[in-house]
Structure formats: C-alpha cells, structure tokens
Amino acid sequence: MLILPDEYKKKIPVVLTSSYYQEWVNYYRKILIKSRQEKYNTDPLNLIAIQIGLMRSIRGIEGKIFEAKKGLRKARQEGDTKDAEDFERGITLNRAVVRIAKIIADGIAWRTLGYDRPFLRALAEPKKPSGSVQFGTEYQTTEDTAVQMAYERKSKVLLTDITYFLRVGDLIEVTDPRTLIYEIKTKYNPNGSVKNVELITIDRIIKTNKKSLNKQEEKLFQANYLRELRKIPLPNSQAEIYIFDVPIKYKTNLRSIEELINLAKKDVFATRTFGNYLTVSCTDIQLFHKKHRKDASEAMEQYKENNPWDKSDIVLPMSNLDIFYEEDGDFVRNSTPYSVFPFSSINCMRIMSGDLWLTSRLNITEIMRLFRAHGWTVTEIDWLKGDKSGQRGSVYYDDLESTIGKHDIFSISGKNFQTNISLAWLHWISSNFMRPETLIEMVEYISTHPPRTRPQYIESYILGEKNVWK
C-alpha cells in the first residue's frame, strides 16, 4: 500500500498524458535550472526576481482554478455531467502545475535557509498555508516590501505564500547573523490606497509584553526561537523541544539512485535492493507508454519488483507520486523537496512532474535488527502491532506538540539512554534514501552528549546534511 489514496492515483494518468501539463513542465524545467544556479542563490535581487516570477504564474493558474470551481458548481447544479467532468479535469491539471511551481519555491527556501531541517519543519507546521496569492491585491505590498529589502538592505528575502514549507509569516529576511520572519499588516485609505504598512517581528512581540499570543504570533515566536536558540518552548507547558545539531556525515544512497534512474530511462524499469533494509524501483512512465500503448495492463506485470523480505516483516512503502497528495494543506512535512536533490535538473523535474515513478520500501524490521546489532534494546510500540501497513495520517501530521509520541514505531534503550523512533524518522530514511547507520550514529551521538538541561523532547539535525543537497 502506498500512502497516496486511490482517488489521487486515478487522477495521475489524466495529468501525465495532458499536452497542457507537459507544456508547463517544459516551462518550469527552465525555471528549475535557473533556481539551482549560484547567481540566483547568492544575489538578493536575482533571488527575489525568480520568486516573483513564480508567484505571478501561480496567481494566474490559481485564478483559472477559482473560475473552474465556480463553473463546476454551476454544472453540478444544472446536472451537466460533461461540463462537470471538464471542469474537474481542468482543476486537477492546474493543481498539478501549481504543485511543481511550489516545489521549485520550496527548493529556493531550503537553499536560502541553509537546509536547516528543524527550522523548516517548524515553519511547515500550520495545517493550511499562511496565505494565498490568489487575486490578493494586498499582495502587491508584500512584493514591494520584499524588493525594497533586497535592494536597500541587500538581504535575501523569501516569499512564504508560494511554498509548501513556509507557512509562518508573509516574508522571511535572511541576514548575517539573523533570520527574521515578518507578518505584514496593511491599512488602507477609503479610496483603496495604502495608508501604512506595519511589519510585525519577534522583536516587536517581545516588546509588547503580551500575556497571551494569538496562533500566528505563537508560531512566529516558536520558529524564530528555534532558529536562534535551537529549542522550542511549548505553549502552556514548562517543557521544550531541544534541537540537537549532530556533527556527523549524512550517508545516503543518492548516487546509486540516480544511476538507477538513468538505467530506467533506457530500459523502462530498474530496481535495486540496498542491504536488507531498502528496495528502490524506478519506472519511466513516458517510455513505458511509448513501448506498450496496446498492452499496458499486461506489460505492467513484468515491471514489478520482487519482494525480497519475509511476509512478517514490517515494511513502509513510499513513492514520489505521494507528492500529488494535497488535502486541506497537508503534505509530507519531513520530506526534502525534489528540487534540491543532487540529481540533474532534468531528472529532478521528471520526478517532480511524475514522468518518473520512484518507489521505495523500507524494511522497519531490519532497522530494528540493526539497532540490536549495535547493542540497543529494541521494543515495538503497541501502536504498530494492530496495523503494519503504515497509516497515511501518521505521515501527514501537522503539529509538533500534538503528535509527540503518537506515531512512534519502536523504542530503543541502553547506554543510559532511551528514545522512541517515530514514523517521521523512518520516512526520512526512506524518502531521502539515507543509510540507516546515519540514524544509528545520530542516536549514539545524542546518547553520549546530553544537553545541559533535561528537555522533555528532542529533535535533531545532522550538520552534514547541508553538504548533500543542491
């Protein structure tokens, strides 16, 4: 079972076979290539210019979605099945186009923020995006403010609304040594002109000395606190989440994965098993349809990987097609955007667009065996014993505090240390094709370097990770 629900799987062929969609894929491939070039990452004006270009294209496409939704409602009211199907198809296609643009924007954010996974994870918490670029006349103020910061302060500035990950604030300004998140409040004159623009930051929130914060202020405060002090105070509690910056190498199978991708581009399908813990398969969807236009159903059987594991093993399946899932703002928050993977830009775009189907199956039972082999006592947690297929809701979680302990798969203890291994951590291994010794070395480092204070919860960041992504 893959995480992507059946109702989303059915829409994928409609998207991939559309000439309209492929035209946008070709357009965004050029944008992706530019976004990965140094001159667009280091120069503040180039950085904001490419984001404004993405924002305007997203705004235009979201306008089409908005009109299609109105048409769909009318068609359903009038019982016009054909028009309703056409509108639904248009909505599906345009949402898929917007998704590619936002993954490119996520890549820009990850590079600009130094691939700081815990910080990005905190910024991604809110269930729904912080705003919408759809028809927002007030968004011109955000754009003007961002350009002004880039031009006058020489700051790197990120537009939050064009991404999946940046869901706190309207703008993020990256300077040396600080990163500031801004909420923008615009007041207007009766004639519609801008009266004044107010920028709200953590510094202002602290100065007001408010007894209670609203949800937006709370998230802004937590994210800034994490970035600067590497911990998050939990509201209404004395507890905190402590961020461990672990100085170890981030070991992956990414080079072998790109070799697998290039092999599939020649032979339609390629698969490989890494150790006894991970199988990865790649299918070139476009090449498959070229070779098997008439016998697609029968041909699919020959491109299925063999299961090398015991039936009793606990296996977590994942796929790049899971990024097609988007419901009420949910997405896989512990994932890394494919736009920063160290593959060629063409391969990254084909994975992002769905032209390549990249699947992985992580053997959780083998991960537990590896921990035991390193001297740890491993105990399965009851949550897993009832259903070993992996639950969609446990990967698409949205709030750090409310999900602590709810999706833990097994616990490890020994060496005067105990912690739980969550589904999010295991998904991290699977989606990033990480070697399990990286996770084991991370846990062993944490166990031998306890923080000065005893936090209630621990999150971690492997410093070597920033050297992996592109």
Predicted local confidence at residue 2, as pLDDT: 41
Ramachandran region of residue 169, left (φ > 0), alpha (ψ -120 to 50) or beta? left
Predicted local confidence at residue 309, as pLDDT: 78
Give the span between the Cα atoms of 106 and 103, in whole angstroms. 5
Q: Is the pLDDT of residue 422 over 60?
A: yes
Predicted local confidence at residue 374, as pLDDT: 94
347 against 176, higher pLDDT = 347
Question: Residue 244 forms beta bridges with which residues?
Answer: 460
pLDDT digits (tens, 9 = 90+) for 231-266: 777 666 667 777 888 899 999 999 999 999 999 999
Tokens matching residue 130: 């912080």
Q: Is the pLDDT of residue 25 over 90?
A: yes
* Contact predicate 201/179, CB 8 Å: no
Distance of CA 150 to the CA centre of its chain: 26
The values of phi and psi at residue 192, to 5°, are 95, -10
Domain extents in the chain: 36-229, 254-467
Predicted local confidence at residue 54, as pLDDT: 95
Predicted local confidence at residue 220, as pLDDT: 79
Across the range 280-287, mean pLDDT stands at 90
Across the range 176-182, mean pLDDT stands at 87
pTM score of the predicted model = 0.88
Predicted local confidence at residue 382, as pLDDT: 64
> Worst-scoring range by mean pLDDT, 22-26, 184-188, 237-241, 295-299?
295-299
Identity of residue 414:
G
pLDDT band at 193 (very low <50, low <70, confident <90, very high): confident
The values of phi and psi at residue 383, to 5°, are -50, -35
* Contact predicate 123/222, CB 8 Å: no
Percent of the chain at pLDDT > 90 equals 40
251 against 318, higher pLDDT = 251
Q: How buried is residue 22: exposed, middle or buried, by Cβ count under 10 Å (0-12/13-18/19+)? A: middle
pLDDT band at 16 (very low <50, low <70, confident <90, very high): confident
Across the range 160-185, mean pLDDT stands at 89
Predicted local confidence at residue 289, as pLDDT: 77
457 against 47, higher pLDDT = 47
Place of tokens 């602290």: 206
List of residues 6+ apart from 217 with CB closer than 8 A: 183, 200, 205, 210
pLDDT digits (tens, 9 = 90+) for 46-65: 999 999 999 999 999 999 99
Tokens matching residue 379: 């105990």
Give the span between the Cα atoms of 187 and 195, in whole angstroms. 5
pLDDT band at 125 (very low <50, low <70, confident <90, very high): confident
Predicted local confidence at residue 4, as pLDDT: 53
Predicted local confidence at residue 363, as pLDDT: 92
pLDDT digits (tens, 9 = 90+) for 98-120: 999 999 999 999 999 999 988 89
Q: How buried is residue 99: exposed, middle or buried, by Cβ count under 10 Å (0-12/13-18/19+)? A: buried
Q: Is the pLDDT of residue 185 over 70?
A: yes
Q: In 10 A of CB 252, how many CB atoms?
A: 17
Predicted local confidence at residue 234, as pLDDT: 67
Predicted local confidence at residue 151, as pLDDT: 94
Predicted local confidence at residue 458, as pLDDT: 65
pLDDT, mean over the chain: 82
pLDDT digits (tens, 9 = 90+) for 359-418: 999 999 999 999 999 999 999 886 544 444 433 333 333 343 344 345 778 889 987 888
Give the span between the Cα atoms of 224 and 377, in whole angstroms. 37
Give the span between the Cα atoms of 60 and 438, in whole angstroms. 43
Predicted local confidence at residue 131, as pLDDT: 45
List of residues 6+ apart from 294 with CB closer than 8 A: none
Cis ω on the peptide bond leading into residue 233 (within 30° of 0)? no
Predicted local confidence at residue 315, as pLDDT: 86
Give the span between the Cα atoms of 383 and 364, in whole angstroms. 14
Choose the most confident range, by mean pLDDT, from 74-88, 149-163, 314-328.
Answer: 149-163
Predicted local confidence at residue 433, as pLDDT: 94
* Contact predicate 230/116, CB 8 Å: no
* Contact predicate 56/142, CB 8 Å: no
Give the span between the Cα atoms of 85 and 14, in whole angstroms. 12
List of residues 6+ apart from 436 with CB closer than 8 A: 275, 277, 366, 367, 370, 429
Rg (CA), the chain: 23
pLDDT digits (tens, 9 = 90+) for 427-445: 888 889 999 999 999 989 8
| Count of all residues that appear for the chain in the document | 470
Across the range 3-17, mean pLDDT stands at 67
Give the span between the Cα atoms of 403 and 125, in whole angstroms. 11
Predicted local confidence at residue 326, as pLDDT: 61
